[in-house]
């Protein structure tokens, strides 16, 4: 019997069972998206320059390093071209490689998000999403560990001779923590799961094995404390102290992210469907997502985040908010198929009121999930017919409509996604005909009608082999 089902396992490591939301990784509460991407690519380029210039210097010069440790005699290393090989066994260089690659990958994702409104990470397999999340955790913890250990115990308290040594040491043992601090403070990343510590500990354990492989192949210990000749107790003490230190760093960094997240009033990790707004974002995006937490929507004014139908391959529409009538707020949770009741998003501001798993028992959310995720749930034809009839009755009672707002929305989505307007005409005609009450003070039957119409159209399009996201016909 498996200890974890796949869904439970990925959720434990911060990957939701529904749609993965990469937005926190590629946005910032203080910087525009393009600025964040530019800074990251600059950090990445500088890190790679540092590594490759160091390799080139090692190949042509002899470099002298002095290293000491607590209760361990100082050791002098004379390094030439072999320093290139040694660097791949040096934890400091390995963590610096990780920083360089993370900044490169993160900058690419950020540029893509700034340009298209989504990232490739959104569509990657869950295992890659988990690895990216864990990758972030490593680059905000390991560099701090490297800096503390080097400056606290390994530095001989004498300034290095030569400009190269001075620049190299500052870049690898000081700027690395500056990069980590940037990733902790500036992006909108959320607190990493506690389960990530298992990955952190596993990587450090594997490194000890690499260090002894290097001793067997190269004949040197990268760090003096690894030598058993200095005493087994000394070796065990170092391992225990470093393990305790990384635990402290892990907890403190996570606390720092929590504090930043609370101070900047960011939205929670996933959305269960209630309307909420983000005061730092610049676009409104429509997609299907899931969230164990919800914040009060009254404090933010710049972005509206609401689910959209997904049938077949995943797809999202990202629309600038200033191009959409602000009265178009179509998503309201439903109590059940028979009784439609407006829900106030502010009542879900307390995260503890909502179950953190998809198998929650909130009837409003369950029904909404059925309506908005027809590919993943069973919606009876009887329920669809009932909702359609109620929407028809509602139309006769509410004459003041927002047909223009819906038409503008469909045109905007068509321009943003590249889907021809003709492909959305069926949704436009049927939705406007059946729906004349999409204002914030209207009854929710019209909302159900729009979803029901879109569901039937998507089913017809899927049967005909057309794009199931925007469909024709009624």
Residue with tokens 């999403």: 129
CA angle 155, 160, 166 (to 5 degrees): 100
156 in Cβ contact with 66 (< 8 Å): yes
Closest CA to 176 of 140, 137, 134, 123: 140
pLDDT value at residue 186 = 96
Alpha-carbon span 42 to 28, nearest angstrom? 17
Structure tokens belonging to residue 73: 């005699």
Q: Which residues pair with 65 in a beta bridge?
A: 77
Q: Provide the sign of the torsion angle of the four alpha carbons 372, 374, 379, 381, taken in this order.
A: positive
CA of 253: how far to CAs of 103, 132, 139, 140, in Å? 18, 18, 11, 7
> Does the global pTM surpass 0.75?
no
pLDDT value at residue 155 = 85
Cβ-proximal residues to 454 (8 Å cutoff; 6+ apart), any chain: 309, 427, 431, 471
pLDDT value at residue 106 = 96
Structure tokens belonging to residue 220: 């040197």
Strands annotated E in 259-316? 276-277, 283-286, 304-306
243 in Cβ contact with 203 (< 8 Å): no
26 in Cβ contact with 109 (< 8 Å): yes
Which residues of the chain are modeled with pLDDT < 50?
A: 1-5, 266-380, 399-400, 402, 421-448, 466-474
Read off the pLDDT of residues 103-119 as tens digits, 9 standing for 90 and up: 999 999 999 999 998 89
283 in Cβ contact with 319 (< 8 Å): yes
Half-sphere exposure of 302 (CA within 13 A, CB side): 9
Cβ-proximal residues to 367 (8 Å cutoff; 6+ apart), any chain: 333, 334, 335, 336, 337
Residue 396: its H or E element: helix 381-397
pLDDT value at residue 16 = 80
pLDDT value at residue 444 = 43
Alpha-carbon span 280 to 472, nearest angstrom? 35
346 in Cβ contact with 276 (< 8 Å): no
pLDDT value at residue 43 = 97
Three-state secondary-structure class, residue 319: strand
Alpha-carbon span 193 to 254, nearest angstrom? 9
């Amino acid at each position: 019997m498996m200890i974890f089902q796949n869904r439970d396992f990925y959720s434990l490591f911060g990957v939701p069972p529904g749609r993965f939301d990469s937005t926190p990784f590629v946005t910032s509460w203080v910087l525009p998206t393009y600025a964040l991407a530019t800074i990251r690519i600059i950090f990445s380029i500088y890190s790679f320059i540092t590594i490759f210039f160091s390799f080139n210097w090692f190949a042509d010069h002899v470099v002298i390093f002095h290293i000491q440790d607590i209760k361990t005699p100082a050791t002098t290393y004379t390094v030439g071209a072999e320093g290139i090989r040694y660097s791949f066994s040096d934890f400091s260089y390995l963590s610096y490689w990780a920083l360089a690659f993370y900044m490169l990958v993160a900058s690419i994702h950020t540029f893509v998000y700034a340009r298209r409104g989504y990232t490739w990470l959104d569509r990657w397999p869950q295992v890659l999403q988990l690895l990216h999340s864990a990758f972030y955790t490593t680059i905000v913890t390991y560099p701090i560990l490297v800096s503390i250990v080097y400056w606290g115990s390994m530095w001989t308290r004498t300034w290095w001779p030569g400009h190269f040594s001075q620049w190299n040491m500052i870049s690898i043992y000081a700027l690395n923590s500056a990069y980590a601090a940037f990733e902790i403070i500036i992006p909108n990343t959320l607190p990493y799961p506690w389960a990530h510590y298992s990955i952190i500990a596993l990587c450090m354990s594997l490194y000890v094995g690499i260090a002894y492989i290097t001793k067997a192949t190269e004949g040197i210990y990268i760090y003096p404390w690894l030598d058993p000749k200095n005493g087994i107790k000394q070796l065990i003490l170092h391992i225990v102290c470093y393990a305790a230190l990384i635990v402290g760093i892990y907890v403190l960094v996570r606390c720092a992210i929590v504090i930043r997240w609370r101070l900047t009033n960011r939205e929670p990790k996933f959305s269960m469907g209630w309307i909420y707004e983000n005061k730092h974002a610049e676009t409104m995006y429509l997609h299907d997502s899931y969230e164990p937490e919800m914040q009060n929507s009254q404090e933010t004014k710049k972005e509206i985040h609401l689910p959209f139908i997904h049938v077949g391959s995943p797809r999202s529409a990202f629309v600038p908010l200033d191009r959409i009538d602000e009265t178009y707020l179509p998503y309201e949770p439903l109590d059940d198929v028979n009784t439609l009741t407006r829900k106030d998003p502010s009542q879900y501001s307390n995260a503890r009121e909502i179950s953190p798993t998809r198998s929650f028992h909130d009837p409003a959310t369950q029904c909404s999930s059925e309506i908005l995720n027809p590919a993943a749930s069973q919606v009876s034809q009887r329920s669809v017919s009932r909702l359609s009839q109620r929407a028809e009755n509602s139309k006769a009672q509410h004459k003041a409509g927002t047909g223009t707002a819906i038409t503008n929305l469909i045109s905007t989505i068509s321009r943003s996604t590249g889907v021809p307007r003709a492909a959305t005409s069926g949704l436009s005609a049927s939705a406007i005909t059946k729906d004349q009450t999409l204002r914030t003070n209207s009854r929710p039957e019209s909302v159900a009608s729009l979803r029901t119409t879109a569901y039937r159209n998507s089913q017809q399009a899927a049967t005909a082999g057309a794009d199931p996201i925007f469909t024709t016909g009624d």
